[in-house]
Amino acid sequence: MTKLNEIELFLLDMDGTIYLENDLFDGSLDFINKIIKENKKYVFMTNNSSKSKTVYINKLTKMNIPCSYDNIFTSGMAMGVYLHENYPNKNVYLVGTNALKDELLSYNVNIVNDNPDIVVVGFDRELNYEKLEKACKFLCDGAIFLATNVDYVCPIENKRYIPDCGSICHMLTVATNKKPKFIGKPDPSMIYLLSEKFGIPCSKIAVIGDRVYTDIASGYNAHATTICVLSGESTMETINDSEIKPDYIFNSIKDIIDLI
Ligand SMILES: [Mg+2]
């Protein structure tokens, strides 16, 4: 655990951490301004691979949060970097949205319709049976199985949930007996990639989020400092029940401003 004033890079979850749907939390803007004033860095890190980075940049900018390409890292972008670094020139079959396709293309990923080396699954809100059938065939033929994020569900309005990437992968796993490697939180890959990009070691990085089993676990797995805020999904009870404990717990992001 590192003292908060020694942290150089803050990796922030969005929903439940800095806003709830479209309402920015009191203190979020002051927190970001304090990071900027102290010459530290921040990146919003999300497991949602269905939307492009531009969607998030527009949403945050509308909320007056200073945000450029360098301040956003989605699990879709992480997949692009991961494929580019680990599987250059390999062919990929994608089960994902058009936004994710564009994201991967921007990292020069070869997306094909047949004979892929790799099947990549994302949070596909444009899913159809043909995609599932093809993915099953390619996995059975020996393609490598990668996926953006482990989440089974995505919360929508009125406390309802829809199937997320983890559920789509679960269907494919049941059908093929193949399990994917997930790149998003709680895997530490996204944090390692950002550590490399900014040249800041994990010992100087803090992850701030409201979900213990994704946000906090990713920081824990990367040996970064972890901060859980109680403004979203987690309660003290959830934290007490979890095997992984955050280094710091605060009611909201507002309580961290004076400590960095
Ligand atoms: Mg969250």
The pLDDT score that the predictor gives to residue 259 is 96
Q: What distance in angstroms lies between residue 152's CA and the mean position of ligand 1's atoms?
A: 14
Q: How confident is the model at residue 233 (pLDDT cuts 50, 70, 90)?
A: confident
Residue-range domain boundaries for the chain: 4-47+185-259, 88-182
Judged against a pLDDT cut of 80, whether residue 78 lies above it is answered with yes
Q: What distance in angstroms lies between residue 24's CA and the mean position of ligand 1's atoms?
A: 13
Q: What distance in angstroms lies between residue 246's CA and the mean position of ligand 1's atoms?
A: 15
Q: What distance in angstroms lies between residue 20's CA and the mean position of ligand 1's atoms?
A: 9
pTM of the model: 0.91
Q: What distance in angstroms lies between residue 55's CA and the mean position of ligand 1's atoms?
A: 17
Judged against a pLDDT cut of 80, whether residue 118 lies above it is answered with yes
Instruction: Lowest mean pLDDT of 91-95, 167-171, 211-215, name the range.
Output: 211-215
Q: What distance in angstroms lies between residue 137's CA and the mean position of ligand 1's atoms?
A: 34
Residues sharing a CB contact under 8 Å with residue 7, sequence separation 6 or more, in sequence order: 40, 204, 205, 206, 225, 260
Q: What distance in angstroms lies between residue 240's CA and the mean position of ligand 1's atoms?
A: 18
Tell me how far apart the alpha carbons of residues 75 and 219 are, in angstroms, rounded to a whole number: 15
The pLDDT score that the predictor gives to residue 189 is 94
Judged against a pLDDT cut of 90, whether residue 155 lies above it is answered with no
CB 135 within 8 A of CB 168: no
- Give the mean pLDDT of 233-255: 96
- Give the mean pLDDT of 218-237: 96
Q: How confident is the model at residue 133 (pLDDT cuts 50, 70, 90)?
A: very high
- Give the mean pLDDT of 101-114: 96
> Which H or E run includes 209?
strand 205-209
Q: Distances from the Cα of 85 to the Cαs of 59, 88, 108, 221, in angstroms? A: 30, 6, 11, 21
178-190: per-residue pLDDT in tens?
999 999 999 999 9
In the three-class reduction of DSSP (H, G, I as helix; E, B as strand; rest coil), residue 42 is classed as strand
- Give the mean pLDDT of 205-222: 96
- For the domain made up of 4-47+185-259, the CATH class stated in words is alpha beta
Judged against a pLDDT cut of 80, whether residue 1 lies above it is answered with no
- Give the mean pLDDT of 244-260: 97
Q: What distance in angstroms lies between residue 90's CA and the mean position of ligand 1's atoms?
A: 33
Q: What distance in angstroms lies between residue 209's CA and the mean position of ligand 1's atoms?
A: 6
Q: What distance in angstroms lies between residue 117's CA and the mean position of ligand 1's atoms?
A: 33
What does the mean pLDDT of the chain come to? 95
Q: What distance in angstroms lies between residue 110's CA and the mean position of ligand 1's atoms?
A: 31
32-52: per-residue pLDDT in tens?
999 999 999 999 999 999 999
CATH superfamily of the 88-182 domain: HAD superfamily/HAD-like (3.40.50.1000)
The pLDDT score that the predictor gives to residue 21 is 82
Q: What distance in angstroms lies between residue 65's CA and the mean position of ligand 1's atoms?
A: 17
Do the domains at 4-47+185-259 and 88-182 have one common CATH topology? yes
Q: How confident is the model at residue 154 (pLDDT cuts 50, 70, 90)?
A: confident
